[in-house]
Amino acid sequence: MATMVDIPAHVPADRVVDFDLFNPPGVEEDYFASWTSLLDGPGLVWTTANGGHWIAARGDVVRALWADAERLSSECLAVTPGLGDVMRFIPLQQDGAEHKAFRMPVMKGLASRFVVALEPKVQSVARELMEGLRPRGECEFVADFAEILPLNIFLSLIDVPREDRPALRKLGVQLTRPDGSMSVDELRQAADDYLWPFIQKRLAEPGDDLFSRILSEPVDGRAWTEDEARRMCRNLLFGGLDTVAAMIGMVALHLARHPDDQRLLRERLELIPDAADELMRRYPTVAVSRNAVTDVEIDGVTIRAGDLVYLPSVLHNLDPACFEVPEEVRFDRGLTPIRHTTMGVGVHRCVGAGLARMEVIMFLREWLGGMPEFTLAPGKAVAMKGGNVGACTSLPLVWNNQG
Ligand code: HEM
């Protein structure tokens, strides 16, 4: 809920806007258009909504501030009040040498050879879901597919047996589409309660799953404590579900609206990796926040030590000064995934980036290979939401199931 606040003296009047990131104007119809309205103004604005904070509103400013881990801290996770204190994510909420020490084992655990080895699992989860959907001729893509795929992959990563999985389904829904029935505290508690038996087991008897690999890597030459293990596992759970679900939802929405792109990718499967990179650039849904630890001069204004800055990757990836005709999806842009900011910039860049990219590629291969041409269901609305991770909340699709 947006709350109005006094505007601090160091904020010039021409930088003040009223922009509620949890509910930007028009977000239900189009998350991206609701944000890009800010590209018409200065590169850094101060919104009076949500307690008052800066928003980087131009591509070069978003990127420069995101890369500046010296002067901007990740510790607080502050736009959602209390979230950072409750979650205490490792490594997301760490800075400097401490962050480096914890990030290293997580990076090793998610190294590309393990990601490649996971492809058959992703394939079988996707195929199983599609088999159930195909004869129906229609689905609510978010609930029926986008939310389920990453959850099952995550559970495979930590080697949770299939019969234990339904318990996380409700939690998964609260993570991707919170309906207010669970507070942040309750959500954290439920995630910890669910994960803890598995973490304990992996700490005691490491297997060859992701958690075991990470937890058996020392941190600065010593073992992980139980508290640190919980905070890291929580970070992986909260970092790798709604983000992937949101991305897959946006990719499916694009294809439903662009049958030519569906046809092209069905005919030329070799284009899929480039298409995945371009779709991930075009539909970024994550924004992060930082607290300045010292004064930062940028775009003609001063961010004061302690100020909160919000960094939406959508305002980098869809800034025409950063990408030519950025709204257009062009599979031949020849981008490297680090040119866009969908997965972040610099020392905190997503440790799951390789896994997420693989999930999008596998989704494209499997869905386009196994399902007939699909469109949006006539007469039913697509809906989106804002927040730290924007997403489709409703994506009704139809196809001809007689073909
Ligand atoms: C399309 C899907 C994804 C998107 C868009 C995404 C986006 C991001 C972004 C923007 C950051 C940087 C945060 C910051 O700078 O404060 C980040 C960090 C992180 N992500 Fe992802 N992510 C995705 C998938 C995943 C997956 C699958 C996992 C793990 C299973 C994961 C785990 C993490 C972790 C642990 C961090 C913290 C890294 C650090 O602070 O050093 N993410 N992600």
Q: Quick one: average pLDDT of 238-253? A: 93
Compute the distance between CA of residue 53 and CA of residue 47 in angstroms, rounded to an integer.
Answer: 6
352 CA to middle of ligand 1, Å? 6
Where do runs of H (alpha helix) occur along 48-118? 59-67, 83-87, 96-109, 112-117
Nearest atom of ligand 1 to the alpha carbon of 345 = 15
The mean per-residue pLDDT over the stretch 193-202 comes to 87
Contact 60, 54 (CB under 8 A): no
CATH superfamily of 13-399: Cytochrome P450 (1.10.630.10)
Q: For the chain, what is the mean pLDDT?
A: 92
Q: Give distance in angstroms: CA of 11 to centre of ligand 1.
A: 31
Greater model confidence, 188 or 101: 101
Q: 305 C-alpha vs ligand 1 centroid, how far in Å? A: 26
Enumerate the domain spans of the chain.
13-399
Say if CB 382 and CB 32 are below 8 A apart. no
Find the mean pLDDT for residues 191-219: 89
Instruction: Work out which ligand 1 atom sits closest to the CA atom of 389.
Output: 5
* Poorest-pLDDT segment among 67-81, 223-237, 281-295: 67-81
The secondary structure of 149-176, three-state, reads HHHHHHHHHCCCCHHHCHHHHHHHHHHH
Residue 2, pLDDT score: 45
Distance of CA 239 from the midpoint of ligand 1 (Å): 5
Amino acid at 46: W
Average pLDDT of the segment spanning 112-141: 94
Q: Which of 42-46, 56-60, 149-153, 343-347 has the lowest mean pLDDT?
A: 149-153
**Which residue CA neighbors atom 30 of ligand 1 most closely?**
240
Kindly list the strands in the beta sheet with 374-376, ordered across the sheet, starting from the edge strand earlier in the chain: 138-140, 396-399, 374-376
Q: Residues 275-294: what's their mean pLDDT?
A: 96
- Nearest residue (CA) to ligand 1, atom 15: 348
Q: For residue 179, report the distance from its CA to the centre of ligand 1, in Å.
A: 23
Helices (H), 205-271: 210-215, 226-240, 242-257, 259-267
| Confidence class for position 335, pLDDT limits 50, 70, 90 | confident
Question: Tell me, what's the pLDDT at 184?
Answer: 82
- Give pLDDT, residue 195: 86
Average pLDDT, integer, range 181-185: 83
C-alpha to C-alpha distance for 275 and 293, rounded to whole angstroms? 39
Specify the residue with its C-alpha closest to ligand 1, atom 41.
Answer: 348
- In the chain, pLDDT over 90 holds for what percent of residues? 73
Per-residue confidence (pLDDT) for residue 124, from 0 to 100: 92
Point out the least confidently predicted range of 46-50, 74-78, 148-152, 361-365. Answer: 74-78
- pLDDT category at 1 given cuts 50, 70, 90 is very low
Cβ proximity of 177 and 280 under 8 Å: no
Cα dist. 378→133, 256, 341 in Å? Answer: 18, 12, 34
DSSP string, 332-400: TS---TTTS-TT--GGGS-TTHHHHHHHHHHHHHHHHHHS--EEEPTT---EEE-SSB-EEEE-EEEE-
Prior bond to 312 cis, omega within 30? no
Q: Which atom of ligand 1 is nearest to the CA of 284?
A: 5
Q: Can you spell out the DSSP letters for 13-36?
A: GGGEE---TTS-TTTTT-HHHHHH
Please give all residues whose beta carbon lies within 6 A of any atom in ligand 1, as ranges: 74, 91-92, 103, 106, 235-236, 239-240, 243-244, 247, 286, 288, 342-344, 348, 350-352, 355-356
Residue 175 has pLDDT above 80, yes or no: no
Q: Point out the ligand 1 atom lying closest to the alpha carbon of residue 349.
A: 12
The sign of the torsion formed by the CA atoms of 127, 133, 137, 140 equals: negative
Write the burial class of residue 41 (CB in 10 Å: 0-12 exposed, 13-18 middle, 19+ buried): middle
β-strand pairing of 308-312 with 374-376: unpaired
Q: Which residues pair with 54 in a beta bridge?
A: 46, 309
Tell which atom from ligand 1 comes closest to the C-alpha of 341: 10
Q: Is the dihedral of CA 261, 264, 269, 271 positive or negative?
A: negative
Q: Whose CA is nearest to atom 26 of ligand 1?
A: 240
Atom of ligand 1 nearest to the CA of 235: 35
pLDDT value at residue 309: 97
What 8-state DSSP symbol labels residue 57? -
Picking from 24, 106, 11, the residue whose alpha carbon sits closest to that of residue 287 is 24
For ligand 1, the distance from its centroid to the CA atom of residue 400, given in whole angstroms, is 36
**Lowest-pLDDT range, 57-71, 145-159, 218-232, 298-312?**
145-159
pLDDT above 70 (res 79) = no
Retrieve residue 109's tokens: 């655990």
The answer on pLDDT for 239 being more than 70 is: yes
Output the CA 244–ligand 1 centroid distance in Å.
Answer: 10
∠ CA 155-159-160, rounded to 5°: 60
Ligand 1 closest atom vs CA 154: 30
Distance of CA 326 from the midpoint of ligand 1 (Å): 23
Q: Is the pLDDT of residue 386 over 50?
A: yes
